[in-house]
Amino acid sequence: MNLPAVTPAKSDTASPMGEIIAVREAVVDVRFAAGHLPEINSALEVAWDGGAPLILEVHSHLDPRTVRAVALMSTSGLARHVMVRATGEAIRVPVGEAVVGRMLDVTGIPRDNGPALPADVPRRAIHSDPPAMQTENASTDIFETGVKVLDLLTPLAHGGKAAMFGGAGVGKTVLTMELIHAMAAKYQGLSIFTGVGERSREGHEMLSDMNGSGVIRHAVLVYGQMNEPPGARWRVPLTALAIAEYFRDEQHKNVLLLMDNIYRFVQAGSELSSLLGRLPSRVGYQSTLATEVGAVEERITSVAGAAVTAIQTVYVPADDFTDPAVTAIATHMDSQIVLSRDLAAQGFYPAVDPLASSSVLLDPLVVGDAHCEIAEQVRESLARLKSLQDVIALLGVEELGSDDRRTVTRARRLQRFLSQPFTVTEKFTGQPGRSVSLADTLAGCRAILDGETDDWAESSLYMVGTLDEARQKEQVARKAAAGAAV
């Protein structure tokens, strides 16, 4: 049997017992003896016959003897008068090398049908304060992903936070796995994937894909699934943060923290707010929205010698970027990556929309004048191509002016050059993955903008790494065409 997430107390004196007096879905009221009221955010363990221990977390004090707690597991079958033990401490989850390659739930119990964790595995509380400001490392170093379109147009900060906006079927999971691979290969770091409100199917697919690609050896998976109570979805980001902070602070490792989907964390908080009887705020969200988001985001930071780089997917309700939850999350982000369904339908992977995506790091003072100039010209070319799409569809490219024809020619080649095969998809496509350095990306885009590839076939630039690889592909195609002509 797997170890319970909460370490048992040593004596009854340290573990006062209480009695459940009310159960409302995920909210449970517990009464203790006078003078034994557990602290806010401390864990309670229900002594019932429901199988695995039911963990509650103290949310508020109702009176000198009663606390209101949030259940992190299903309360189905839970009744009044059941006894509850106060652990006297916050929920503590396993951390360290023992959890690498494993899938855990919100309380740190393995859910991958693997062996139990060792008895001496270190544990860490899910609640902690952000590092003191004077210890934070406000570095503007670029986190090179090896993904051309990201490194060129939406550079990520090493130790920063990025938001990835995208729906199902646009390559979000594949891009996430490639970033995990990049962290392991380039930075010798660890990746922690957090499934917040994920479907059970998606969790199984992610675990299977990671096992198949070998990425799991450098990753930890933490899940609070959609079918679990809102308390699990509300606290699972904190579980992942506790693991990430251990590797950052104790082992001084760089950590890539991926959260899918951080919006469901907000939704879980909204559900609990209603169950707790709070008055709603704007658009029905909880009044504590900004505080809850800030409590998660402010812990994602770097200290001297190690960094936590976060990439979080965000669902945008009704495509409304002014939604309070979206704006609350976006205020903490350095980069915004928008995945396009249209690009995915055309076969351009990664399907990153170069016009909608942005980064505060795309600044001459951070990335240099040359990078900014090339990125701006690439965006201008792609924007012009988009504006001329209707004209091209109706009249054809031949009806455009010479300047527009030249711009469209180069923009289409840029669009194809910014696609690339991924290492994690190699076993499906049979095409070796490519990780491209920023210097090679800039050199390739510069050459295309200068017209060096105007007479190349567009297919020569599709799904390649560097421009040299595209050049070799073009030469092979020309030789084949010449041989066929003879």
Cα 416 to the center of its chain, rounded Å: 26
Preceding omega of 261 cis (within 30 degrees of 0): yes
Q: Which amino acid is at 382?
A: L
Looking only at the bridges linking them, the beta strands covering 123-125 and 92-94 are antiparallel
199 is catalytic: yes
Q: Is the alpha carbon torsion for 329, 331, 333, 339 positive or negative?
A: positive
Q: Which positions ≥6 away from 460 have C-beta within 8 Å?
A: 453, 470, 471, 473, 474, 477
Residue 348 one-letter amino acid: F
Tokens at residue 188, please?
A: 């010798």
* Known catalytic membership, residue 172: yes
Separation between Cα atoms, residue 191 and residue 210, nearest integer Å: 12
CA torsion angle for 261, 266, 269, 274 (degrees, to 10)? Answer: -120
- Specify the DSSP element, H or E, that contains 447: helix 438-449
Under 8 Å between Cβ of 197 and 229: no
Contacts of 233 (CB under 8 A, 6+ apart): 196, 197, 224, 225, 226, 264, 265, 267, 268
CA 228 vs CA 25, 173, 231, 268: distances in Å = 12, 22, 8, 10
8 Å CB contact between 45 and 53: yes
Bridge partners of 57, per DSSP, are 43, 70
382 close to 449: Cβ distance less than 8 angstroms? no
Residue 73: phi, psi to the nearest 5?
-135, 170
| 241 within 8 A of 255, measured Cβ to Cβ | no
Tell me which of 57, 89, 144, 198 is the catalytic residue. Answer: 198
Alpha helices per DSSP H over 187-256: 200-213, 230-249
Q: Residues near 414 by Cβ (< 8 Å), separated by ≥ 6?
A: 378, 381, 382, 445, 448, 449
Q: Which of 24, 39, 97, 199 is catalytic?
A: 199
- In DSSP terms, 233 is beta-bridged to none
Looking at residue 110, the DSSP 8-state letter turns out to be: B
Residues in contact with 214: Cβ distance below 8 Å, sequence separation at least 6, in sequence order: none
Residue 92 annotated in active site: no
Contact assessment for residue 355 and residue 389, using Cβ atoms and an 8 Å cutoff: no
Q: Which of 124, 161, 172, 434 is labelled catalytic?
A: 172
* Contact (CB, 8 A) for 286 and 270: yes
Give CA–CA dist 453/461, Å, rounded: 9
For the annotated catalytic residues, the residue numbers are 172, 198-199
